[in-house]
Each structure stands twice: as C-alpha cells, then as structure tokens.
Structure 1
C-alpha cells in the first residue's frame, strides 16, 4: 500500500432513536449498548491509526455522521469530541461538521459542541409538512425542526445546512414547494435536496417490490426542477446535483469525496480510502467494540482501487458537480456519444470539462453510463 496524505476524517455513530424506513446506512437503536464503551472503542481505533502511521494525517475536514451523532448524551459526545482533539492535530481543520436530527439536541449540548470545535451542522429536516414526515417515519414535528434550527443558530453555528428529500410517496408538488419556500425563508447557508432512492434492505424497497410504491422518472424530474428554480432564485448556487450553497458555504468534506480524495473512517461500518486501497470497518457495533477495545484491527479485507475502478467512480461523481468531468476521461470510441449528447442539449464542454445543462442534470446517471462506454 502506498503511503498517503489523508486530509479528511469521517466518524460513524450508528445510533438512532427510531429507524427510518428509507435509510440504508448502517444504524440501529442503542438498546443495551455500553455508550461510554462505544466512545472509547472509537477513540482506541483513532489512537491505533495514529500510532500505526501507515498514512500521514494532515486533517482539513472532520465529519460526524450516522445514524445520529447527537443521539449520544452530552457527556459521551463531549468525551468523543475532546478525545479526537487529543489524539489528532485538528489545528488545520477548516470545517468540522456534525449531523443533527431535531429532538436530539439541547442548548447545552449545542454549546458544548461549538466549544469543542464543531463549526458546521447538517440538520435532517427532510420535509416541513406532517403527512410527508409521517411517511418517512420521522419522529419530529415541523415545529421541533424550526426550534432546533433556531437553537443551533443561537449556539453560534454560523454554518448550518438543512437536508430535504423529494419524490416521497404521497408527496405533492405543492407540499414540496412549501418545504422549499419555508427552508429558504430560514436562510440556511447550505441546502441538500435528495431524490428518494429505494435502497435494498429497507422497508421502502420492500414496499416498492410489492407494488405499494412506484418509481417515476418524470415525477422525479418535476420535483428536481422545482427545487432548482426555487433554490437558485433564493440565492443558492447549485454546485452538485443534490446540493446548493450560499457563496463560501459549500461542503468541503463532501467535495473531497466527489473529487476522489483520501479519507479515514472511524467507527462501525465506516469506509476509508487511502494509498490505492479501500476498506470498511466491520458493520457490527458489538463486534467492532470488542475488537477495538482489545487492540485488534476493526477493518474487513479491503480492495485495490484500480485505474479502471477510479475512472468509473469519477464518471459517477464528478459529472454531478458544477466543475464537471475532465473531457480527457472519455475514451476515443465514445467521443461520438459525447458529441451526440452535446447536440441534444444535455451537456456542454467548457475549458476541457464536461458540464451538464439544465436538461441534462436529471439524467446524470444515464449520461455517465453512456459516456463510459
């Protein structure tokens, strides 16, 4: 394995008070988990990675995801945050993000997070109308979400992102417009608007297979364009298919993923990519804790990231961005396809990069496949 310089750290905290029926990330209710032991297991893994020096850590971003990081108590979360700061040099970290769900944070917990160095919050709103929240299995009301948003602002978080979802079963365009307009009115720095995907091993996927739910690309495009129009009119730059930001507030951590940069993942199920390899920690919290606290490796066997694999991933990720995909990645025998897609008004080639047009953006996945050949 080639020794790499890693600038990005991800920490996975898998606990949720309630399991949402659409979510495919590794998560579970905390049940009888020893939460203090979990925190120590993550910090032990961090120490082991630091001591091994297999790669150089020069951290610029940190991201706490899940699950719900703020499902940890104030005491346990503070121990995690302070421990990470003791183990790793965070002096060059410019963006320190934590995901938050409504009803999982207090003013005291928010103040502690800010004091411990967290600079950015990604708040899981999803929708502002009760019927859609109920379909999504969310356990908060719209009033809870707005209260949490104001609490975070009051705690001094100058960078707050709101996460939304569209094409939810039963969701109308009018309800989606209402969610968008209420979101813009709050003036968050960043907004993520995700098209619902039916992922395997979720309740929604099972309902799709039974015919209770259905996919509709035309409907998806209507919702997508409504988001694009409302959010751009509200002063947000559409810099990635699902992400919009005010100037200076793009997600640096997520941009590192889209650009294929190296990152280290801590916690059960967390992925890491470094030195031409990708590996995943065991997706079993109890087993992860057992291994980590015993000083043993928590990673499953990894895979080599071949040039072909990296090229495929670049098509799938960079084509989604405002910067676009370098034109030279398109092989000669696919240049005719590139020209055809340009003639159809789905993309432009600017300064050596393939950039999707308004018409092409909803078709990003199929365009990527067509260009890869």
Structure 2
C-alpha cells in the first residue's frame, strides 16, 4: 500500500471529467489507500475547472501543484504556456473554493530577458495568494529543446550571476513571508512540506506508472518504455512495460543519498562523509557548510553553490 501518490506531467488535468473519474476510481478500487498520507496532482492553469476540482476532491486528492511559472504574460508567452496570469489566478481561486488547503505554486526564474523586478513581483504576487508551498526552479537549457537550440544560436544567454541574485532574493522574500526553506528549490509553511518529494530525497523506494516512468525498489532501478504505444501494447498483452533496468551498487546509492540529502534542511550525517573529512573541513572553513546536531548542513551562502558542493563530496 502506498503512503503517497503523485500524478505528474504531462498534464493530468488535461483529461476530461469522465477520464479523470475513471483514473481516480481505478486507483481507489485497486489499491489499499488506508495508509495514504498525501495524494498530489499537477495542474496547469487553463485546464482547471470547478467541476474537475470537485472530482479531484471527491476521490481523495489532497494536494495540488499548480504550474504557474510566472505572473508576467510576456514571459509566459516566451515559455510557450497556454495560460495567462489572469487564468493562473482564477485557477488558484477555483482550487481554494473547492476546498483544497494544500496548494503548491511552481515558479521559474532565470528566464531569457527576465529582470530582477519581474521576479520580485512574481514572488510578491505569489506570497499574497498564501499558498501552502512554493517551488522555484532555475530554467535549464536541456539538449533537444527549443530553448537549447535558441541558446546555441546566440538568441539566449545564461547569466550565472543574475541567477544567483534571483536565488538570493527568493530566499529572502519567502523566508520573510513565513516559508521554511526545507530543500534548495522548495519552500513551505510549517507542516506543509511535500511528503512525496521528501521520500525521494531520503532514498525511499518508489514505483513509477506510465510511459517513461522510473521506479527504484531496493537495489534495482528501471524505466518503462518511453513510447506510449509500446507501453500500452505491453500492458494490454500482460507483459512488463519495462524498457530498461539497472542494478544499483551500494556506492551508487550512497552517492545519490549524499547529493540529495545535502539539498535538504536537515543535511547529511557527518558520519557518512568520514572519507571526505579534509573536503568537509575546507567547506566549513569557507563557510559553505556547518555542523548541526551531528549533520553537515549547507549555510546560506552554501545553498547558492549546492550542486558544486555535492560534486566535491561524491
């Protein structure tokens, strides 16, 4: 039986009412949900309606992650989003009116042409809505994406110094507003940390369902077929939809645990980094790490260099 369920993107709320009901009913009928703590679903503004929100509430979904990304219409258009700022706010209101008391708002910074003032307004607007949770991500230019191609042509430019300024501003504004910075990209009001995501960061087992979904159980990890036709054919024929798998070593698990736990508020037990004592001492001297209750935790300044620090320790 699961402790958490997370319906991710694509866009689950793009399904119509009948499809949503069929999907949610299938989970309730086929799984023992007696131990379920958190049931999250991602939603895009523009695909949220009062009827869909009511269906989600009816079947037990208790957390919504709303992909706002920005409150600036020009930046939303640049991102290729189909919603505007007005629709995003309306979607938030619909979810509140439906009775959802645990809503996350996803935001993005480091967008091409985005200014510090635009980001400040985005944060202030989000705080004014008082969601329980806020996730903030820096735009990454991944290969085979339109943004990567446009960057390669010189249309966009990455500006690490500006990204660091956005990150610093995010910490200051959200913490002043009462949000706890419990993971590098995530802020929550007390008691509203994402249970599902924390399970990932702590190295818990998880089962992924659907095309390209990844699962990790014990010392094995596998990924389902990426092509949805191949996935459906396998499932309908009673065959495994696994497209690839790998056996994990204890060293691989340890490396992942360090990299992920270091991003959290609690940090990593110092005992797990005994073999890196000289490196950790240097990072402490540089005021990038600090010791707290037997754990090594990123300092305020260290959070801006989290990925580089993790690389130095694994």
TM over 0.5: yes
**4+ residue segments displaced more than 3 Å:** none
Which residue of structure 2 lines up, in the alignment, with residue 197 of structure 1?
A: 140
* Conserved? CA contact 2:150–2:156, under 8 Å: yes
Picking from 70, 87, 99, the partner of 1:156 is: 99
User: TM-score w.r.t. structure 1 length?
Assistant: 0.83
Which residue of structure 1 lines up, in the alignment, with residue 22 of structure 2?
A: 79
Quote the offset at 1:105 in angstroms: 1.8
Give a deviation string over 1:320-349, Cα, whole Å, max 9, x none.
Answer: 0001012122243x2112111111111101
Kindly indicate whether structure 1 or structure 2 has the higher relative contact order, using CA contacts under 8 Å at least 6 residues apart.
Answer: 1
Matches within 5 A, 1:39-188: 58-188=1-131
Picking from 267, 281, 291, the partner of 1:339 is: 281
Question: What is the count of residue pairs matched by the alignment?
Answer: 314
Give a deviation string over 1:35-54, Cα, whole Å, max 9, x none.
Answer: xxxxxxxxxxxxxxxxxxxx
Give a deviation string over 1:49-83, Cα, whole Å, max 9, x none.
Answer: xxxxxxxxx31100000110011111001100000
SS at 1:330's partner residue?
helix
In 2: Cα distance, 1:330 partner to 1:302 partner:
29
SS at 2:46's partner residue?
coil
Picking from 191, 197, 212, the partner of 1:248 is: 191
Quote the offset at 1:171 in angstroms: 0.4
Q: Is residue 226 of structure 2 the alignment partner of residue 283 of structure 1?
A: yes
In 1: Cα distance, 2:248 partner to 2:181 partner:
30
SS at 2:305's partner residue?
helix
In 2: Cα distance, 1:308 partner to 1:210 partner:
40
* Conserved? CA contact 2:38–2:196, under 8 Å: yes
User: TM-score w.r.t. structure 2 length?
Assistant: 0.98
SS at 2:256's partner residue?
helix
In 2: Cα distance, 1:219 partner to 1:303 partner:
39
Q: Give unpaired runs (5+ residues) of structure 2.
A: none
Matches within 5 A, 1:188-227: 188-227=131-170
* Conserved? CA contact 2:171–2:181, under 8 Å: yes
* Conserved? CA contact 2:64–2:104, under 8 Å: yes
Give a deviation string over 1:186-225, Cα, whole Å, max 9, x none.
Answer: 0000000111111122111112222222222211110001
SS at 1:230's partner residue?
helix
Matches within 5 A, 1:265-284: 265-284=208-227
In 1: Cα distance, 2:265 partner to 2:14 partner:
34
SS at 1:313's partner residue?
helix
Which residue of structure 2 lines up, in the alignment, with residue 358 of structure 1?
A: 300
